[in-house]
A and B are shown apart, each in its own frame.
Chain A
Amino acid sequence: MNKAMNNLRSTSAGLSSLIVVFILWEVVCRMFHVRDIMLPRPSQIFAELGAEAAWYASHSAYTLMTTLAGFALSVVGGVLIAIGLVGSRLFERFLFPLIVGFNSVPKVALAPLFVVWLGTGAEPKIAIAFLIAVFAIIVDTVHGLRSVPGDVIDLGRVLKGSAWDFFFKVKLPSALPSMVAGMKVAMSLALVGAIVGEFVSSQRGLGYIIMSAQGTFDTVRVFAALFILAAMGLVLYGLLAWLERHATPWRNTGHE
């Protein structure tokens, strides 16, 4: 009850600050006669979004699909790689330098290569989104799997459970909070990857809208796409925050 009130209050506070910014923006643009091509007014941007809603929706759906696909792949791949890294010293010795080295390459710079390899469809975008996001998942999952306290590991040994039981009943739940933290970061990164992929070569998606509109100096359209991206990022992050609360119910019960 109290919690719901608090939630409502913080949501409305965030919303009202957003409205204030839009009003200020509108007023400043009108007062100083800022040219549309430099900075369109929020009212123009919302009008544009309203007028072409279906068109924006289809491009947004495309970007959302590639983002989610890249994110899902990064979660599956990242968790598996992290389990391998923690579980086998040989695997770690073999793979860790590779991962560190690969992570130091700016992944954005690889985007043109993926177009060469995978063409101009959705695949290269998904691949880039995956590649940018996967490291966050690996790092946080490894951290989580390694954070099992020594006493708990000893307990597992004394109880002589199978490695399987120990992994699924002790290690993985221990790692879950940091895995979800990694997912939050990975989700934002996957969105970056999808947009970068669309910048490089695409006929669809919000990244494509931004690039093509920029080419014709249609700044209103660029901002419209940016607004959608901001909203999309917020919603995806909010979903993961919600998942975090519901996947770890033991964390928000009890007294402090």
Chain B
Amino acid sequence: MTMIAVQAQEVCKQYPGARGVQALSGITAAIPAGQFVSILGPSGCGKSTFLRCVAGLEKVSGGALSVHGVPVQGPPDDIGMVFQRDALLEWRTIRNNILLPVEFARKQPRAYQEKVDYLLRLTGLRDFATSYPRELSGGMRQRAAICRALVDDPKLLLMDEPFGALDAFTRDQMNFELQRIWMEIRNTVLFVTHGISEAVFLGDAVMVFSPRPGRLLETIPIDLPRPRPLSLRETPEFGRYVAHIRSLFETMGSATGKGAQ
């Protein structure tokens, strides 16, 4: 039996107030531990809201949500999070930025030096341990943010459009790097994105969300062998997944179009 990392049962999120937006409606999903799951949807579909609910940053307004079997009330233990902007602290060196979770957990930073070195090597930042964030490019900063999220071995890694602010080339490269890093770590990852190709390339499964109120349209298992080379994206198998997701969005678009008439 596989462990379930994230269990969502009819999760709803309605923002408070008379004109409160309904962001999520009836999300039911079970995400097995050790999977890389992409959460895909158009902008404003509630996919980030779902992730923030899992992170305990926002309360669900209906349904049940648990992480590693524990109902979510505030941020769960053993999670790491990567944000769209890297959220690095400008006054700390890269090494000290990566050690921030260790300090906040009141653990001995000295015991984590080797771990930091390992992560810096893994992400190709070995020469930048003593640099300040300002001195790094956008892609390198985001890699440092990934190191920070991984430093205390989180069982669940939450990534909220982490490459959304990067240019297309850097983004491709980061996709490849992230896969390589994840294949070493093999924890559970929830990866929010609005890029279809990115979602398919990285995911063991893709959860497709509809526009607001966000509903889960379909969870598509991606059965492609790893490591996946970037050129995989030009193959017919990959194209079939992409085409299937596109058609999902198209039928949904016409359906909501009819609804409006």
| Contact call B87/A152, Cβ cutoff below 8 A | yes
Q: Is A230 at the interface (CB under 8 A from chain B)?
A: no
Chain A's closest residue to B90 (CB) is A250
* Complex interface: chain A residues within 8 A of B81 (CB): 154-155, 158
| Contact call B104/A159, Cβ cutoff below 8 A | yes
A249 to chain B, nearest CB (A): 8
* Complex interface: chain A residues within 8 A of B89 (CB): 152, 169-170, 173-174
Q: Given A158-B75, A169-B100, A170-B89, are A250 and B83 neighbors across the interface (CB < 8 Å)?
A: no
Chain B's closest residue to A254 (CB) is B135
Cα A216 to Cα B81 in complex, Å, equals: 73
Cα A10 to Cα B157 in complex, Å, equals: 51
Cα A212 to Cα B105 in complex, Å, equals: 63
Q: B-facing mask of A75-89, CB < 8 A → 1, else 0? A: 000000000000000
| Contact call B132/A250, Cβ cutoff below 8 A | yes
Cα A166 to Cα B56 in complex, Å, equals: 18
Q: Which of A158, A254, A255 has the most CB of B within 10 A?
A: A158
* Complex interface: chain B residues within 8 A of A170 (CB): 89
* Complex interface: chain B residues within 8 A of A155 (CB): 81, 83, 87
| Contact call B87/A253, Cβ cutoff below 8 A | no
Q: A-facing mask of B40-58, CB < 8 A → 1, else 0? A: 0000000000001001110
With beta carbons under 8 angstroms apart, the residue of B57, B84, B134 that contacts A157 is B57
Cα A165 to Cα B100 in complex, Å, equals: 10
A19 to chain B, nearest CB (A): 39
| Contact call B91/A173, Cβ cutoff below 8 A | yes
B92 to chain A, nearest CB (A): 8
Cα A154 to Cα B84 in complex, Å, equals: 12
B136 to chain A, nearest CB (A): 8
| Contact call A254/B84, Cβ cutoff below 8 A | no
Q: How many residues of B contact A (CB 8 A)?
A: 27
Q: A-facing mask of B93-106, CB < 8 A → 1, else 0? A: 00000001101110
Q: How many residues of A contact B (CB 8 A)?
A: 25
Number of A-B contacts (CB under 8 A): 71
Q: Is B200 at the interface (CB under 8 A from chain A)?
A: no
* Complex interface: chain B residues within 8 A of A151 (CB): 83-85, 87
B58 to chain A, nearest CB (A): 10
Q: Is B79 at the interface (CB under 8 A from chain A)?
A: yes
With beta carbons under 8 angstroms apart, the residue of B52, B74, B83, B104 that contacts A161 is B104
| Contact call A253/B57, Cβ cutoff below 8 A | no
Q: Which of A155, A156, A161, A174 has the most CB of B within 10 A?
A: A155
Interface members, chain A 99-125 (any B CB < 8 Å): none
Q: Which of A154, A159, A160, A251 has the most CB of B within 10 A?
A: A159
Interface members, chain B 193-218 (any A CB < 8 Å): none
Q: Is A248 at the interface (CB under 8 A from chain B)?
A: yes
| Contact call A254/B75, Cβ cutoff below 8 A | no
A168 to chain B, nearest CB (A): 11
Cα A176 to Cα B75 in complex, Å, equals: 28
B30 to chain A, nearest CB (A): 22
Interface members, chain B 46-82 (any A CB < 8 Å): 52, 55-57, 74-75, 77, 79-81
Supply 12 A–B pairs (Cβ within 8 Å), ascending by A. A151-B83, A151-B87, A155-B83, A157-B74, A158-B80, A159-B75, A162-B104, A165-B104, A170-B89, A248-B91, A250-B91, A250-B134
Given contacts A154-B57, A154-B83, A155-B83, 9 further A-B contacts (CB under 8 A): A149-B87, A151-B84, A158-B55, A161-B105, A166-B104, A173-B89, A173-B91, A250-B91, A250-B134
Give the B-binding residues of A (Cβ under 8 A): 149, 151-152, 154-162, 165-166, 169-170, 173-174, 176, 248, 250-251, 253-255
